[in-house]
Structure 1
Amino acid sequence: MRNRYLDLLRLLAIVRVVVYHVTGWASLTLLFPAMSVMFALAGSLMATSLLRSGPPAVGRRLRRLLPSLWVVAAIFVPAMLLTGLPLTPGVLLWLFPVADPPANYWGALALSPIWYLRDYLWFVLASPIAIWLFRRFPVPTLLAPYCLLLAIEMGIYPNAPVVLREFGLYFGAWLLGFAHQSGMLRRMTNRVLVPTVLVLAALGGAWILANPGPRGYDLNDNPLGNALWSAAFILVALGRAPASAQWVDRNALFGRIVTVFNRRALTVYLWHMAFVVLLTPLVDVVGWSHQDPLGLAIRVALVFLLVGLVTALVGWVEDVAAGRPPELIPGGRRTSGRTVDADRSAGPPSAEGPQRREEEVPGQRDPISAR
């Protein structure tokens, strides 16, 4: 049976990402470090798949990950080629993004969430070796990404490749997902867990306060602070996760919303930034300022509405990729009065996030990557 608590975390992460990208509120990254949570959830699911199926789980995970990207590429790549993107061999990276695929001036921002798939792909490929190491040397394996990131941030390893930087920043969260799956986090006593969380949060918070970025105290501008703060958050969120949360389904509508967002998490994530960019001109046309609560609320609602429409059109690709019968709105099939949830290892990608951290909010500052 699925743990609906994890499904709820994924829903909150996705909603937080979208709201952040519309509003640009840096405080949201501190309150809920969604990208790291998403990688932790994905790591837990990947560990389960590897322990059940072995290395073939890698192929199955990629099969679930890539088709939704190909749908996006089939629509946006021709549009970018017609508006100035050179046709080079690099365009093939839209089929298998082991590096950032090329984009033109408007596509770079609208499609900036692709960084998440790039990192996710690398983490999936590294997981068979990582889980072998984790099962034999759990603590050193968990610490390795954070030591790598510390070396990069302290200048010990300058000019590190982007892939290694991302391993340092987010692979630690992925490995904490391994620790969750193995029960390691759950077995931590409060005498160990609480001091560990407090130390990580204090170190991360102090580093963030001492090294504010261009957006202030935004985790996406501070890799080391991000990693430490997020680790503390994940230790609490997963270390004390309930075995289940069946109360989620007590309200049929809310339970259905949780199911829809989990089954369509990748589609929502890939498409939402394009609509954020599309709606940005409304700020000038209608006169909404970025501090206007009503204007922001309307923009958030419109983004979710547009994402809902495109999800209804192409979200079924996620069902096909997962080997499920395609559904227009997931969670509607019922057997013996109970919803059938065939997505045993769901999780897109399930959380926030541009090529460096979160997606820039158009019209507020210079674009950098989406996180």
Structure 2
Amino acid sequence: MTTHATPLAEAAPKEPAPVEKPGRDRYFDLLRALALFRVVLYHLTGWAWLPLVFPSMGVMFALAGNLMARSLKRPAGQVIRGRMRRLLPPLWLLGVVGVTGMVFQGWGPDADGHPGWWLLHLTFWIVPLSDPPYAEGLPGVHGFIGENWAADLAGPLWYIRAYLWYVLLSPVLLKALRALPVVTILAPIALAVAFEQSWLTLPGERIPSALTDFSTFGACWILGMAHQEGILRRLPRYVVPSVAPVIALAGLWYALHHDFGTGNDLDSMPLAQALWSFGTVFLLLHLSPSWKEWPRRLRPLAGTITLLNSRAVTIYLWHNTCILIAATLWDQLWGFPLLEQNAPGLLESVWPVLALVWVLIGCCVLAFGWAEDLAAKQKPRLWPTGEPRLRTRGSRRRAAPGG
């Protein structure tokens, strides 16, 4: 017997399909983990070719720009406050330890002869709109940490300052990107050219330093935003593979013609860094497979990659200090004649020191990483290899990644 649908059944509205919330992009998580590892290796070894193999800072800024554009679907003020809340507590912990140590070793208002300016500049350890100050030439602790340790501790802070300014400028950059995408993406590189050719010069150090960082990595941040906005996907498929290598090779050509090598690599060549990072990031975003789940081959590394992403700020802030401590401790082995005579190659090798560096970084994650959870309104965890959970009143729910 044939049945027919009733008119009521025909008129019944279909249930709306559930809206899938955006999840973590595991490809981006992998890039961020690789970037962190490369940063640590480079700062330990100083190998000039490492930034060419993988331009970590450009990648990290691009990924941050991507997340910022996604977050800006909410009110801009709310997003900026959230980003600052996530960024600043780990910096404050570094400042509590570092500035206290500097003061104990004699650093103070009279160190530079300008007590008022010293106190004013200390506020940059609270909100790093400019580079926080630090003591220079401090003695080390024999057998534990080398001299001038404050300079190593403060070394990564330029990234925090640059990141904060990108966050503050992102609402304006996003509007400009939507209105004039090509002009907005290329504007930082044009600024880098202007600085390099001395067409634009500014007095002082703080403002030129901030603008130089913007000109060097601003295009990468905006590329990340463009990827999130779908602007890159609207390009014909042949454009990026055709254009990106040319831009990257232009940066390499410039570096090779300006005495590229150890002690004079991309980090000391803002224009070359800008071009190489832009071209490489452009390709990486173009190839983006958008993994919602880990590919089978990467699943054994999923916990480690998640840990690196969950503690990215802590690792970046403390890795220079860990390198200095590891190198100082390893140098003590030269005092054992048996090792000096029979295993000089081991004592000179970088790989045992690298392993010790990561052990110390792990200790910093345990000691200070919880600040990232509190800043993100998550339950503090010592060793976060799984997905976080938000701290809520009366119930717990999974954290929305990238919020």
TM over 0.5: yes
2:183 pairs with 1:136: no
**1:304, 1:207 → 2: CA distance?**
34
- What's 2:372 paired with? 318
- What's 1:145 paired with? 188
2:159 pairs with 1:116: yes
Which of 209, 215, 218 lines up with 2:256 in the alignment?
Answer: 209
Answer yes or no: is the 8 Å Cα contact 1:58–1:124 preserved in 2.
yes
Q: Which protein, 1 or 2, shows the higher relative CO under an 8 Å CA cutoff with sep ≥ 6?
A: 1
Answer yes or no: is the 8 Å Cα contact 2:333–2:347 preserved in 1.
no
The one-letter code of the counterpart of 2:198 is G
**2:93, 2:197 → 1: CA distance?**
40
- Using the aligned pairs only, state the percent identity: 39
**1:329, 1:284 → 2: CA distance?**
30
2:34 pairs with 1:12: yes
Which of 199, 202, 208 lines up with 1:156 in the alignment?
Answer: 199
> Secondary structure of the residue that 1:344 maps to in structure 2?
coil
> Secondary structure of the residue that 2:359 maps to in structure 1?
helix
User: How well do the aligned residues superpose, as a CA RMSD in angstroms?
Assistant: 2.4
2:360 pairs with 1:306: yes
Answer yes or no: is the 8 Å Cα contact 2:330–2:347 preserved in 1.
no
Which one has a bigger Cα radius of gyration? 2
1:286-338 Cα distance to aligned partner (Å, 9 max, x none): 34999969721111110100110110122111011011111111134699xxx
Q: Where in structure 2 are the equivalents of 1:1-371 lying within 5 Å?
A: 1-87=23-109, 88-89=118-119, 90-105=121-136, 106=148, 107-159=150-202, 161-213=208-260, 215=262, 218-244=265-291, 246-248=293-295, 253-282=300-329, 284-287=331-334, 295-332=349-386, 342=399, 344-345=401-402
- TM-score normalized with structure 2 length: 0.79
1:67-107 Cα distance to aligned partner (Å, 9 max, x none): 00001111111111121322322112111111111111221
> Secondary structure of the residue that 2:73 maps to in structure 1?
helix
**2:398, 2:53 → 1: CA distance?**
30
- TM-score normalized with structure 1 length: 0.86
Answer yes or no: is the 8 Å Cα contact 2:129–2:164 preserved in 1.
yes
**2:401, 2:130 → 1: CA distance?**
29
**1:67, 1:146 → 2: CA distance?**
32
**2:253, 2:297 → 1: CA distance?**
41
The one-letter code of the counterpart of 2:308 is F
Task: Decide whether aligned partners of structure 1 residues 334 and 219 sit closer, same or farther in structure 2, where only a CA change above 3 A counts.
Answer: closer
Answer yes or no: is the 8 Å Cα contact 2:216–2:270 preserved in 1.
yes
**1:291, 1:156 → 2: CA distance?**
49
Answer yes or no: is the 8 Å Cα contact 2:47–2:262 preserved in 1.
no
**1:29, 1:43 → 2: CA distance?**
20
Answer yes or no: is the 8 Å Cα contact 2:24–2:292 preserved in 1.
no
> Secondary structure of the residue that 2:280 maps to in structure 1?
helix
**2:176, 2:39 → 1: CA distance?**
32
Shift of 1:176: 0.7
The one-letter code of the counterpart of 2:314 is T
Structure 1: give runs of 5+ residues left out of the alignment.
Answer: 347-371
Answer yes or no: is the 8 Å Cα contact 1:110–1:277 preserved in 2.
no
Structure 2: give runs of 5+ residues left out of the alignment.
Answer: 1-22, 110-117, 137-147, 335-339, 390-396
**1:17, 1:343 → 2: CA distance?**
27
**1:20, 1:290 → 2: CA distance?**
23
**2:379, 2:293 → 1: CA distance?**
24
1:269-297 Cα distance to aligned partner (Å, 9 max, x none): 00110011122234643349999697211
Shift of 1:250: 6.4
Task: Decide whether aligned partners of structure 1 residues 249 and 128 sit closer, same or farther in structure 2, where only a CA change above 3 A counts.
Answer: farther
**2:173, 2:107 → 1: CA distance?**
37
**2:133, 2:333 → 1: CA distance?**
33
- What's 2:114 paired with? none
Shift of 1:203: 1.1
> Secondary structure of the residue that 2:350 maps to in structure 1?
helix
**2:181, 2:90 → 1: CA distance?**
34
The one-letter code of the counterpart of 2:158 is W
> Secondary structure of the residue that 2:88 maps to in structure 1?
helix
The one-letter code of the counterpart of 1:49 is S
Task: Decide whether aligned partners of structure 1 residues 245 and 50 sit closer, same or farther in structure 2, where only a CA change above 3 A counts.
Answer: closer
Task: Decide whether aligned partners of structure 1 residues 290 and 271 sit closer, same or farther in structure 2, where only a CA change above 3 A counts.
Answer: farther
**1:290, 1:101 → 2: CA distance?**
40
- What's 2:11 paired with? none
